[in-house]
Amino acid sequence: MVKGTPERTFRPAMCGQMFVGWRIIGRMASRGCVDESNMRWRGVAASKAGQVVDLPLAAMLGVFHGGAVIQLSLCVVSLILHGVVIWQVWAVTVLAIVCSAVIAAWVLWHKSYRIPWWMGVIHLSATVVAMVVQGLFLPRDVQLGNWNVWAPAYAGLTLATLPAWIPSTSLAIAVGAAVAALYVVVVLPGNETLFLSVSMNVVGYLVFVVAAAMLLQVARRLARQVEESHSESVRLAGELKMDRYLFHMHNASGLLARLSRDDIPDAILPALRMQAAREASRLRVAMTSSVDDTSQWWSLGRVISNAISGFGHLPLEINDLLGRHVALPVHQAMAVQMALITVLYNVQFHAKAHEVTIHADDHGGWWEVSVVDDGVGFDPASISYGFGLQHQVLEPLKAEGLSVSIESAPGEGTAVTIRSFPRQ
């Protein structure tokens, strides 16, 4: 056999394994893994949010084990060239190739770096058996620095794979320490002069498995936060859609109630019917889509224009020249638009106004838009706001970081003003 250089701590194959191993663990730490529930650790696919974390890890681990298959195949070539005919050595080599090939296929097929516990046990057992067989059947002076003795390098791959099937940090570290101890027992006898090299390899094993286990623990915690954030965003999106649905249902029910009355003036009946048709169209859109536009920003002028659509029969006067250019985030713009529509419905149904003015202004660091009517007004201190003002004006705008003031008095009309807070 051709001997390597025993003085080197790790031969090139092992250095390559350790380098790829550290990259695997680094990726695992930065991207994380998700829930540690028993079902997740039995090869069951992760949620869609978890798959965002799993896919790059699965690809990396698949390439990792695919590379091991190639390296072990080169070891087979080395065994042939050096005339090694010990069947036990050949058997463990083939077993390791099969293990890595199966793991690579599994993680790539399931798009998850998690592997079943039984697969991990077989992989670990193959490493342990390979170490023992090579220590017993190959010469003592080639236990370090020879391609035919590949088991110590393969142990690095095994340690990198432990977190894929052992969710417990302490257990993974214990298993890694046991593998390091086995390495000493197998390699050191007959190589006492290389005690320093063996010790350095053991330290490398321990540092490797501790780092891998600890970083994976942090990664799981980060991944749980990703899933929690995803669940929260889904919940908030559902609440937003329900709020929009209730908004349109409230407006539609008000229109239906008004249309069912016998005392509707003939002059406004066509306008109410057109408004009802427009509201029905809005309701259909709200039930089938989450956002009406993909733009990230809406102008205040656009918000006002959308809000007054369908209220052409009201005596509206629009003064938005000074504020129409103000850009609002789309969800804030939608909240303002729904609030304006609600206020205009209140004017239509209750105010008996002869003039309704919508004014918008940009004050540099903040903006405002107001709806002022000369209707019958009311005493805000003597009433409680209904569903429209409370749930479609005050609460949504407050949630968007905006202030709302409602000023009114009997016989003096009503003024509703929406303001942004000054930018810091």
Domain ranges of the chain: 12-231, 293-424
The pLDDT of residue 20 is: 44
The pLDDT of residue 37 is: 40
The pLDDT of residue 271 is: 66
Give the confidence band of 111 by pLDDT, cuts at 50, 70, 90: confident
- Residue-wise pLDDT for 45-95, tens only, equals 455 555 666 777 788 889 989 999 999 999 888 888 888 889 999 999 999
Could you tell me the two tokens for 19?
A: 């380098």
The pLDDT of residue 232 is: 74
Mean pLDDT throughout 10-25?
A: 41
User: What superfamily in CATH does domain 293-424 come from?
Assistant: Histidine kinase-like ATPase, C-terminal domain (3.30.565.10)
> Please, what is the angle between helix 269-288 and helix 195-259, to 10°?
160
- Residue-wise pLDDT for 173-193, tens only, equals 899 999 999 999 998 888 888
Mean pLDDT throughout 292-300?
A: 73
Could you tell me the two tokens for 88?
A: 């036990």
The pLDDT of residue 180 is: 92
pLDDT above 90 for 302: yes
The pLDDT of residue 5 is: 37
- Residue-wise pLDDT for 127-151, tens only, equals 999 999 998 998 888 888 777 889 9
| C-alpha–C-alpha distance, residues 223 and 237, integer Å | 21
106, 155 contact by CB (below 8 A): no
pLDDT above 50 for 281: yes
pLDDT above 90 for 170: no
Give the confidence band of 275 by pLDDT, cuts at 50, 70, 90: low
- Residue-wise pLDDT for 343-400, tens only, equals 998 898 888 899 999 999 998 889 999 999 999 999 988 888 877 788 889 998 998 9
- Total number of residues shown for the chain: 424
Q: Please tell me the pTM assigned to this model.
A: 0.52
Choice between 139 and 3, residue whose per-residue pLDDT is larger: 139
Radius of gyration of the chain (CA): 36
Choice between 271 and 398, residue whose per-residue pLDDT is larger: 398
Tell me the pairing of strands 327-329 and 297-299. antiparallel
- Residue-wise pLDDT for 154-169, tens only, equals 998 898 889 888 888 8
The pLDDT of residue 389 is: 85
Mean pLDDT throughout 255-259?
A: 65
pLDDT above 80 for 7: no
Mean pLDDT throughout 302-320?
A: 88
